[in-house]
């Protein structure tokens, strides 16, 4: 749905949280934040209605959302989200990484889920509004960040099946510790053959909770098999690799070529796109094409594939040491992380944390 009634600027009203944590309490959380467990003092809330467009932008105390039990999202899962990080730079500024790409992806997700498109300026303004209230929640220890979670869902109380005419957009944020506090460790991956996460014409390319709901039973199977994550295949032939539950996959060939699956049911990762750009800058060839599971298995067995990794905002880059299926496994669970994998990871995080020059102009300042 196009949003025809959008005013050109958003004036957020700010309501301070009277129960905001004291500096000491916050410091205690920031010393060991974990992931997704603690939330900042405030949240952003913008309303949308079919008649009034986007309106009532607010920064208010973080807290429960009142929902009518008939709210469409609870019945038909009309919901989308985004995920990005705010990084504390050495000069004290707070920066985010390619937030316009998150804004555009949220617009594409919105189109697929018949939700209203939030203009890019509003998306960026919403991040800045939250940071204005909660800047002190951006940690400064190495490899820590503030994980920002924008999301939008159908709030209209109506059990008929059609796109909702009342929607809310929110932004919450959660301090995040280093994903691999003891150093980056390669993981084992479970190949799901009983379940798909998305199919042709489905929602695979949208960042929506429904895709995660579809992945959870396979993810539980992965844990049972001693694996950290699950790899999904295409739903039609069960032959081509797609992605993990929430991360994209890259294979590195002996000649230095990076290969990543292309499919209409894969979520287009911003971390993936950035990593491939950095590799291309170094002269590596990059192939985006269909990749069969046999190419992975045979390639690792023959030595033609030398490294495999997964990437996404939360963990940045995760080396994959072993792929395990019902009747096979390839790789070695104890193998060290690949050299190129680790050096691309280092380069990307150096840019994100302001340790090297941002030559692609990927950073956007949020605190000014
Ligand atoms: C968010 C997400 C990714 C990774 O995207 P980034 O922009 O790199 O964080 C990959 N796959 C799925 C299914 C996702 O939801």
253: Cα within 13 Å, side-chain hemisphere = 14
In 177-285, beta strands by DSSP E:
187-191, 229-233, 241-244, 248-253, 258-261
Burial class (CB within 10 angstroms; exposed 0-12, middle 13-18, buried 19+) of 122: buried
340 or 7, higher pLDDT: 340
Ligand 1 close to Cβ of residue 269 (< 6 A) = yes
Q: How much is the pTM?
A: 0.96
Ligand 1 close to Cβ of residue 319 (< 6 A) = no
- pLDDT value at position 4? 46
- Residue 171, pLDDT above cutoff 60: yes
Ligand 1 close to Cβ of residue 82 (< 6 A) = no
Question: What is the Cα–Cα distance from 314 to 302, expressed in whole angstroms?
Answer: 32
Ligand 1 close to Cβ of residue 250 (< 6 A) = no
The Å distance, Cα 7 to ligand 1 centre, comes to: 30
Ligand 1 close to Cβ of residue 265 (< 6 A) = no
The Å distance, Cα 83 to ligand 1 centre, comes to: 8
- pLDDT value at position 226? 95
- pLDDT value at position 179? 87
Identify the band that residue 84 occupies on the pLDDT scale cut at 50, 70 and 90.
very high
The Å distance, Cα 312 to ligand 1 centre, comes to: 5
- Residue 3, pLDDT above cutoff 60: no
Q: Could you report the per-residue pLDDT of 237-256, keeping only the tens digit for each?
A: 999 999 998 999 999 999 99
Contact 192, 323 (CB under 8 A): no
Ligand 1 close to Cβ of residue 312 (< 6 A) = yes
Buried b or exposed e, range 291-330, using 16+ CB within 10 angstroms: bebebbbebbeeeebbbbbbbbbbbbbbbbbbbbbeeebb
Ligand 1 close to Cβ of residue 313 (< 6 A) = yes
Distances (CA, A) of 110 to 25, 81, 288: 37, 9, 25
Ligand 1 close to Cβ of residue 83 (< 6 A) = yes
Separate counts of helices (H) and strands (E) for the chain? 8, 18
- pLDDT value at position 368? 85
- pLDDT value at position 2? 47
**Which of left, alpha, beta for 145 (phi over 0: left; psi -120 to 50: alpha)?**
beta
- Token pair 């000014």: residue: 368
The Å distance, Cα 159 to ligand 1 centre, comes to: 31
Q: Could you report the per-residue pLDDT of 43-82, keeping only the tens digit for each?
A: 999 999 999 999 999 999 999 999 999 999 999 999 999 9
The Å distance, Cα 240 to ligand 1 centre, comes to: 19
Mean pLDDT, residues 109-115 taken together: 98
Mean pLDDT, residues 116-135 taken together: 98
- Residue 87, pLDDT above cutoff 70: yes
The Å distance, Cα 308 to ligand 1 centre, comes to: 17
The Å distance, Cα 220 to ligand 1 centre, comes to: 19
**Domains plus CATH for the chain?**
7-176 (3.30.470.10), 187-352 (3.20.10.10)
> In 3D, which of 229, 205, 179, 230 has the Cα closest to residue 345?
179
Q: Whose CA is nearest to atom 12 of ligand 1?
A: 246
Q: Whose CA is nearest to atom 5 of ligand 1?
A: 269
Ligand 1 close to Cβ of residue 271 (< 6 A) = yes
In three-state secondary structure terms, 86 is strand
> In 3D, which of 55, 54, 63, 44 has the Cα closest to residue 132?
44
Ligand 1 atom at shortest distance from the alpha carbon of 243: 11
Contact 58, 130 (CB under 8 A): no
Identify the band that residue 128 occupies on the pLDDT scale cut at 50, 70 and 90.
very high
Mean pLDDT, residues 154-164 taken together: 97
Output the average pLDDT for the chain.
96
- Residue 311, pLDDT above cutoff 80: yes
- Residue 1, pLDDT above cutoff 60: no
Ligand 1 close to Cβ of residue 210 (< 6 A) = no
Question: What is the Cα–Cα distance from 152 to 44, expressed in whole angstroms?
Answer: 11
Ligand 1 close to Cβ of residue 209 (< 6 A) = no
Ligand 1 atom at shortest distance from the alpha carbon of 102: 7
- pLDDT value at position 8? 55
Q: Could you report the per-residue pLDDT of 355-364, keeping only the tens digit for each?
A: 999 999 999 9
The Å distance, Cα 311 to ligand 1 centre, comes to: 8
Identify the band that residue 328 occupies on the pLDDT scale cut at 50, 70 and 90.
very high
Ligand 1 close to Cβ of residue 248 (< 6 A) = yes
- pLDDT value at position 180? 86
Question: What is the Cα–Cα distance from 133 to 17, expressed in whole angstroms?
Answer: 9
Question: What is the Cα–Cα distance from 29 to 143, expressed in whole angstroms?
Answer: 16
- Residue 6, pLDDT above cutoff 60: no
């Amino acid at each position: 749905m196009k949003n025809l009634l959008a005013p050109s600027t958003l004036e957020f009203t700010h309501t301070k949280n009277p129960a905001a944590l004291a500096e000491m309490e916050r410091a205690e959380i920031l010393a060991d934040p974990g992931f997704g467990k603690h939330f900042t003092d405030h949240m952003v809330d913008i309303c949308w209605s079919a008649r009034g467009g986007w309106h009532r932008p607010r920064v208010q105390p973080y807290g429960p959302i009142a929902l009518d039990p008939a709210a469409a999202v609870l019945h038909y899962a009309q919901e989308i989200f985004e995920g990005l990080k705010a990084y504390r730079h050495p000069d004290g500024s707070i920066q985010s990484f390619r937030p316009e790409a998150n804004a555009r992806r949220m617009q594409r997700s919105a189109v697929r889920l018949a939700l209203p498109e939030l203009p890019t300026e509003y998306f960026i303004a919403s991040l800045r509004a939250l940071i204005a209230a909660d800047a002190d929640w951006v940690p400064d220890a190495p490899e820590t960040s503030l994980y920002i979670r924008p999301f939008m869902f159908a709030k209209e109380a109506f059990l008929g099946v059609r796109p909702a005419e009342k929607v809310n957009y929110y932004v919450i944020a959660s301090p995040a510790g280093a994903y691999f506090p003891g150093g980056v460790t390669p993981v084992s991956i479970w190949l799901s053959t009983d379940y798909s996460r998305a199919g042709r014409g489905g929602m695979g390319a949208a960042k929506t909770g429904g895709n995660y709901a579809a992945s959870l039973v396979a993810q539980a199977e992965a844990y049972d098999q001693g694996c950290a994550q699950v790899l999904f295949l295409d739903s039609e032939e069960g032959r081509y690799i797609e992605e993990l539950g929430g991360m994209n996959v890259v294979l590195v060939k002996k000649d230095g070529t990076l290969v990543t699956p292309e499919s209409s049911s894969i979520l287009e990762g911003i971390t993936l796109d950035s990593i491939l750009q950095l590799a291309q800058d170094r002269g590596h060839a990059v192939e985006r094409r269909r990749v069969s599971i046999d190419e992975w298995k045979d390639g690792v067995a023959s030595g033609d594939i030398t490294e495999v990794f997964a990437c996404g905002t939360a963990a940045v880059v995760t080396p994959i040491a072993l792929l395990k299926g019902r009747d096979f496994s390839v790789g070695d669970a104890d193998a060290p992380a690949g050299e190129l994998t680790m050096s691309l990871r280092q380069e990307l995080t150096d840019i994100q944390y302001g340790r090297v020059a941002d030559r692609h102009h990927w950073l956007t300042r949020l605190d000014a």
